[in-house]
Structure 1
Amino acid sequence: MASHRRPKQPSRTRVTVLTTAAAAAVAFSANAANAAPSEKPSKDEVKSKVDKLYEEAEKASEKYNGAKEKQEKLEKQISTLQDNVARGQEDLNTLREGLGSMASAQYRTGGIDPSVALFLSSDPDDYLDKASAMDQLSSQQVEALKKVQEKQRSLAQQRKEAAEKLKDLADTRTELGKKKKEVQGKLGEAQKLLNTLTAKEKAALDAQQARASRASERSALDDNPGTSKPGSGYAGAAFAAAQGKIGSPYVYGAAGPSSFDCSGLTSWAYAQAGVSIPRTSEAQANAGTRIYSQSDLQVGDLVIFYGDFHHVGLYAGNGQVLHAPHSGAVVRYEAIGNMTFEFGVRI
């Protein structure tokens, strides 16, 4: 017999779920069809973002330079302290041997009790007090023991200082690693952005920068007589040395002779003139007399940029600066107005 049972109807909940899913699918398809494809940033937008990343990288680079300089100073100080401690220990051993010899000689002549040797090896202060109270020490021994006490105190202080500097060195090395990682991260981001440009766009940016650099060089070298003041002997010699490095690549942490970062170039240039200035741009900002008016700048003066002093160059005359700009660039001339001028520094 044929069954006349009515087919089972879908539940209200199932119908609702299916309807909602279908509606969502239709809406998604419509949105996908109508959505505009993500636009590729323009050449100028990429340049602006890359310049910002380079500036951030340079800030980190100068912090890296500061940590590196501190590390080198600490390593020298620790080495000196450790050498002093080693020599001091030898002196202390010699003094103790001398005291032992005197004590032995006294014992052989029926003098001081040999048990006082315990005090010599453990606590000279206590030994001196007790033995003096018993009137068992000669003036020669008192003087020798005082020398032992002084040497022990000196050694203890030097060991403490060395331990503190070793801890400081460990912290500095940690900071150095962080700053290096930060610099590399910023440069990596910049490179990714540059890789989005076509070969033609990259060539256009390079040509644009080359034109600007040539214009700055002409402006500096073709300066009208009297417009810019010549630098002092040291400043002039430093500037001449830096001119010889035009075209050298920027490399963070580098201070010549084949590659430079901003403060690496200025410190190297002044070193060629026989003048030692600090390694970082922040420290160079305090290395001489500040010149706040651009009209008073002389060729070879340091020029400090940005509020945190993270960039420095050499004044080239006629409103131009000779500097190592950033990663991906070379030592070149540039208009001071392209950056935020803070002040000059005359060494």
Structure 2
Amino acid sequence: MASHRKPRQHPLASLTGGGSRRARTARTAATLALAGAATATGLDGTAQAAPRPTPAQVKDRVDALYQEAEVATQHYNGAKESADTAREELSRLQDEAARRTRRLNAARAELGTLATSQYRSGGIDPTVRLLLSADPQRYLDGAAVLERTGSHQATAVAGYARRLGSVRQIRQRAEDTVERLADTEARLKKHRVTIVHKLDAAEQLLSRLTAEQRQRMASRGGARNGPDRSGPDRSRTDRGTDRGTDRGDGPSGVPGGAQAAAAAAQAPSPRAARAVSFAYGALGKPYVWGATGPSGYDCSGLTQAAWKAGGVALPRTTYTQISSGPRISRSQLAPGDLVFFYSGISHVGLYVGNGQMIHAPHPGAPVRLAPIDQMPFAAATRPA
């Protein structure tokens, strides 16, 4: 049998005389009280500001951001090199397609002359059917056409077939190159965005420091004036601020010119000597990501330009420059050798002797002398 017991009342209803409206009012009040308590707790938690990072913590994070930006810069450099190559190839293919199309049109005109002559003499010549065909290549695939034509006509038809296939092949290669270029430009854009975001984050961190703290950081090899986000399209002239200290003297106090000459004299080849001299001449020039000079450089742009002055064409990125010659151990280093850093091979400098290199460190720090122990050493190469 069905139960006829009354529905059980809410406890709040019994306390307030059983009225449903009063019960709802009580429940609402309880909910608001709990919400108010939670809000108060949240405000207490957020009222305490995060502790201000110390200059050492800022430097560590900024250095990490610069290193991450440099990784993206090397990917950008590789993509840009691929894009430049694809553009050159596309231009060449377009020129070649135009030349072959002109030859194809000349062959078509010759076939037209032969077809007209044959038609006037009676009948539909295979050449006419070739010209009228919606798919000339398919028609030409039938070998019988050449057997039904005279020797001169056969030569003209064969030449037309060859040129038609050649033009189609070139056009297909051009279309493939266009697609590859579009993919590469998309990667360029992605890497550019990554670089700018990393440098923006570094700039925000550096803005928290006082001028004195930033100067101390610069004296220890950190950022000088904050990131330069202008990228490879930079057109500003070289900055002259603190150029003398950036050029620097060697550990023995030898003036820059004499030190450059001494390092070049110790180079294992005339080419390496010229590369070393070029690197000394670049001291003080600004770091500009994606740049290969002459106004500014990134790390691999500097080494590429230095060895270009020595008559050796290095590839563009650190990942490819490391394979530009035999590997050299640290004990075998000589002026002109390329020294690479970090496990990802994302930074490179030019060794100049006495445990030092010339390199383009990062945005805000111009080309300078630095000890190779300043960063985690990965490998060394002697370009050949």
Equivalent residues of 1:314, 1:321 under 8 A apart = yes
Please point out which of 29, 35, 51 is paired with 2:63: 51
* CA distance in structure 1 between the partners assigned to 2:297 and 2:247 by the alignment: 23
* Structure 2 SS opposite 1:86: helix
* CA distance in structure 1 between the partners assigned to 2:252 and 2:127 by the alignment: 81
* CA distance in structure 2 between the partners assigned to 1:289 and 1:220 by the alignment: 31
Matched, 1:276 2:309: no
TM-score when normalising by structure 2: 0.78
Question: What is the letter of the counterpart of residue 179 of structure 2?
Answer: K
* Structure 1 SS opposite 2:131: helix
Please point out which of 292, 296, 307 is paired with 1:255: 292
Matched, 1:331 2:367: yes
* CA distance in structure 1 between the partners assigned to 2:299 and 2:76 by the alignment: 13
* Structure 2 SS opposite 1:40: coil
* CA distance in structure 1 between the partners assigned to 2:301 and 2:247 by the alignment: 25
Equivalent residues of 2:62, 2:202 under 8 A apart = yes
* CA distance in structure 2 between the partners assigned to 1:88 and 1:26 by the alignment: 80
Residue 378 of structure 2 corresponds to 342
Matched, 1:233 2:262: no
The structure showing larger relative contact order (alpha-carbon pairs under 8 Å, at least 6 residues apart) is: 1
Matched, 1:204 2:236: no
Deviations 1:160-188 (A, max 9, x none): 11111100100000000000000000000
Residue 38 of structure 1 corresponds to 50
How many residues are matched? 331
Residue 238 of structure 2 corresponds to none
* CA distance in structure 1 between the partners assigned to 2:127 and 2:41 by the alignment: 98
Please point out which of 317, 330, 348 is paired with 1:312: 348
Equivalent residues of 2:73, 2:191 under 8 A apart = yes
Matched, 1:64 2:76: yes
Aligned-pair distance for 1:309?
A: 1.4
Question: What is the letter of the counterpart of residue 117 of structure 1?
Answer: V
Question: What is the letter of the counterpart of residue 126 of structure 1?
Answer: Y
Unaligned runs of 5+ residues in structure 1 are 1-7
* CA distance in structure 1 between the partners assigned to 2:375 and 2:189 by the alignment: 29
Equivalent residues of 1:124, 1:145 under 8 A apart = no
Please point out which of 141, 164, 176 is paired with 1:164: 176
Deviations 1:37-83 (A, max 9, x none): 43211111101100000000000000001111100000000111111
Aligned-pair distance for 1:36?
A: 5.2
Question: What is the letter of the counterpart of residue 232 of structure 1?
Answer: S
Residue 5 of structure 1 corresponds to none
* Structure 1 SS opposite 2:221: helix
Please point out which of 312, 318, 339 is paired with 1:303: 339
Aligned-pair distance for 1:101?
A: 1.7
* Structure 1 SS opposite 2:71: helix
* CA distance in structure 2 between the partners assigned to 1:173 and 1:220 by the alignment: 48
* CA distance in structure 1 between the partners assigned to 2:172 and 2:247 by the alignment: 58
Q: Is the deviation greater in 202-211 or in 75-84?
A: 202-211
Deviations 1:232-261 (A, max 9, x none): 111110110011010111010010001000
Q: CA RMSD in A?
A: 3.0
Please point out which of 176, 199, 223 is paired with 1:187: 199
Against the structure 1 CA distance between its residues 26 and 90, is the aligned structure 2 distance closer, same or farther, given a 3 Å change threshold?
Answer: closer
* CA distance in structure 2 between the partners assigned to 1:131 and 1:18 by the alignment: 94
* CA distance in structure 2 between the partners assigned to 1:162 and 1:215 by the alignment: 48
Matched, 1:97 2:109: yes
Equivalent residues of 1:216, 1:320 under 8 A apart = no
Equivalent residues of 1:302, 1:315 under 8 A apart = yes
Against the structure 1 CA distance between its residues 174 and 25, is the aligned structure 2 distance closer, same or farther, given a 3 Å change threshold?
Answer: closer
Against the structure 1 CA distance between its residues 16 and 84, is the aligned structure 2 distance closer, same or farther, given a 3 Å change threshold?
Answer: closer
Deviations 1:86-128 (A, max 9, x none): 11011011011112222333444x3663574131353266356
Identity %: 37
Aligned-pair distance for 1:26?
A: 7.0
* Structure 2 SS opposite 1:290: coil
Against the structure 1 CA distance between its residues 167 and 42, is the aligned structure 2 distance closer, same or farther, given a 3 Å change threshold?
Answer: same
Question: What is the letter of the counterpart of residue 119 of structure 1?
Answer: L
Aligned-pair distance for 1:230?
A: 2.6
Question: What is the letter of the counterpart of residue 151 of structure 2?
Answer: S
Please point out which of 126, 135, 139 is paired with 1:126: 139
Against the structure 1 CA distance between its residues 115 and 144, is the aligned structure 2 distance closer, same or farther, given a 3 Å change threshold?
Answer: closer
* CA distance in structure 2 between the partners assigned to 1:180 and 1:57 by the alignment: 9
* CA distance in structure 2 between the partners assigned to 1:152 and 1:269 by the alignment: 48
Equivalent residues of 2:114, 2:127 under 8 A apart = no
Matched, 1:154 2:204: no
* CA distance in structure 1 between the partners assigned to 2:48 and 2:32 by the alignment: 29
Please point out which of 88, 113, 117 is paired with 2:124: 113
Question: What is the letter of the counterpart of residue 93 of structure 1?
Answer: N
Equivalent residues of 1:303, 1:344 under 8 A apart = yes
Please point out which of 169, 174, 180 is paired with 2:186: 174
Equivalent residues of 2:322, 2:340 under 8 A apart = yes
Aligned-pair distance for 1:131?
A: 3.7
